[in-house]
Amino acid sequence: MSPARPSFANWPCSIARTVDVLGDAWSILILREAFYGFRRFDEFQQELRMARNTLADRLRRLVEEGLMERRLYESEPPRHEYLLTEKGRDFVPVLAAMARWGDRWLAGEEGAPITFHHDACDHDSHAEVVCSACGEPMRSEGISTRMGPGYPERLRKRPDVQRRFGRF
- In this prediction, residue 167 carries a pLDDT of 53
- Angle between helix axes 52-64 and 41-48 (nearest 10 degrees) is 120
| H or E element in which residue 72 lies | strand 68-74
Question: Phi and psi dihedrals of 38, rounded to 5?
Answer: -75, 140
* Predicted model pTM: 0.88
- Per the prediction, the chain carries an average pLDDT of 93
- The answer to whether residue 3 scores a pLDDT higher than 90 is no
Write the pLDDT tens digit of every residue in 32-68.
999 999 999 999 999 999 999 999 999 999 999 999 9
Looking at residue 47, its pLDDT comes to: 97
Give the CATH fold of the 14-85 domain.
Arc Repressor Mutant, subunit A (1.10.10)
Q: Which tens digit of pLDDT belongs to each residue from 121-164?
A: 999 999 999 999 999 999 999 998 999 999 999 999 999 998 88
Listed by start position, the domains of the chain span 14-85, 92-142
Of 89, 44, 49, which is closest to residue 66 (Cα–Cα)? 89
| CB-CB neighbours of 110 under 10 Å | 6
